[in-house]
Amino acid sequence: MTYKHTFHRHKTREVQVGNLVIGGDNPIIVQSMTTPDTHNLEATVAEIHRLEEAGCELVRVTVPKPQDAAVLGEIKRRIKLPLICDIHFDYKMALAALDHPVDKIRINPGNIGGMDRFRQVLKKAKDKGIPMRIGVNAGSLEREFAMKYGFPCPPAMVDSALRYIEIAESEGYHDMIVSLKSSDVLTVVEAYRLYAKQADYPTHIGVTEAGKAPYAVTKSACGLAPILLDGIGDTIRISLLGDPVPEIAAAFDILQATQRRVRKPELIACPTCGRLEIDLEDIIAKLEHRLAGKTTAIKISVLGCVVNGPGEAREADLGIAAGKGKGVIFKRGEIVRNVLEKDMVEALMEEIAKWEREEAEKGTLKHGAPSIQAAAREDEPHGNSAEQDDAGRIRLPMLN
């Protein structure tokens, strides 16, 4: 009997953002935010192109000034990703941004000067058919909610989000995505868990102001893994100080490790120790190189000795348990061949290709995609069907 992990995804509505669908059973979308002044058109567009190349699927630009709103149309014309405008403090900038062809607006209703102004933004977003992220942030929680609990704790953040949702619904507006961010990991986890019990609008998840990598990536993983494993999260951003491009790989790695969105082979390797009897680092480096760009959803384990080797290798789809200068290749628990250390990489690559052929014949071969947009492009090879419906929405099935 095979043990199956239990997992229930937070049931959310679907919200369309550009040609993507967020929420429901759709894959968790990876997003990021640009760093130049938005009105610095060339720099902003260049950064968006670099983000897209890294696999970013949704991009956000800040709009603090009229000249930033003024370039939104031109940015949109020059990029392929759905574009989000990010507004703080000035509701007039939200209204100005909505005059341009953006795909989503992100506001924190708590810092735009009152609920009348929030309603004005809601009305305009509704008229234009533009979805909105309600971004509640522990650092800028409305005084009323913070005072109720004495400090900006998870229940205060969720109360605040629910109140904004209620106001939006009273305006007949439902195209919402909600975030409850904090720089405190425990606050993030509790806030999203509490929210998921009470509402079904999709969530954008992240640990805000996580700081500088590599600590910021670890901190984000600590905050996001518990909620991802609880089935919460429909879009994700890893906030890193500086260049946003590394945020994309970090987000996909967290999704891969939690098995929420698999887009490449999972390579399992032991840390090595005094029992090691092969050059494992060299073998893993060569394997990583050979597997680069591959999207097959396969678990490959390479372990340095017989202590855990056979057991771990059996857990994987394919694995090597090494001995002194040689090893055995396992396929789902069965030894399929003996190999010398010098032939291990080649032999494993041959077995991977064979495994792929067999899975394809059975119709069970699964591929991740470098990004949803890449999966939808006909000129890029992928085994997992991204479908585009009559409305131009891209749908990619979950792989887990």
Residues that bind ligand SF4 (CB under 6 A): 270-273, 275-276, 303-305, 307-309
Query: Which pairing describes strands 235-236 and 204-205: parallel, antiparallel, or unpaired?
Result: parallel
Q: Of 282, 277, 284, 281, which Cα lies nearest the Cα of 306?
A: 277
Which residue, 249 or 276, is less far from ligand SF4 as judged by CB?
276
- Helices within 28-153 (DSSP H only): 41-54, 66-70, 72-78, 91-97, 115-128, 143-149
Quote the least distance from Cβ 311 to ligand SF4, whole Å: 10
Q: Which residues of 2-38 are buried (b: 16+ CB within 10 A; e: fewer)?
A: eeeeeeebbebbebbbbbbbbbeebbbbbbbbbeebb
Residue 203 pairs in a beta bridge with: 178
Cα Rg, the chain, nearest whole Å: 23
Residues in Cβ contact with 204 at an 8 Å cutoff, skipping those fewer than 6 apart: 31, 133, 135, 177, 178, 179, 234, 235, 236, 237
Quote the least distance from Cβ 300 to ligand SF4, whole Å: 15
Quote the least distance from Cβ 325 to ligand SF4, whole Å: 14
Quote the least distance from Cβ 71 to ligand SF4, whole Å: 54
Which residue, 129 or 274, is less far from ligand SF4 as judged by CB?
274
- How many CA atoms, within 13 angstroms, populate the side-chain half-sphere of residue 174? 7
Which residue, 95 or 303, is less far from ligand SF4 as judged by CB?
303
Quote the least distance from Cβ 43 to ligand SF4, whole Å: 46
Which residue, 75 or 322, is less far from ligand SF4 as judged by CB?
322
Quote the least distance from Cβ 275 to ligand SF4, whole Å: 4
Asked if residue 373 lies in contact with residue 80, where contact means CB atoms within 8 angstroms, the answer is yes
Which residue, 33 or 322, is less far from ligand SF4 as judged by CB?
322
Which residue, 256 or 308, is less far from ligand SF4 as judged by CB?
308
Quote the least distance from Cβ 201 to ligand SF4, whole Å: 45
Which residue, 96 or 344, is less far from ligand SF4 as judged by CB?
344
Quote the least distance from Cβ 321 to ligand SF4, whole Å: 8
Q: How far is CA 273 from CA 154, 269, 278, 305, in A?
A: 43, 12, 11, 9
Q: Give, rounded to a whole angstrom, the gap between the first and last alpha carbons of the chain.
A: 19
Which residue, 224 or 302, is less far from ligand SF4 as judged by CB?
302
Q: How far is CA 43 from CA 32, 48, 237, in A?
A: 15, 9, 21
Structure tokens at 19: 């040609």
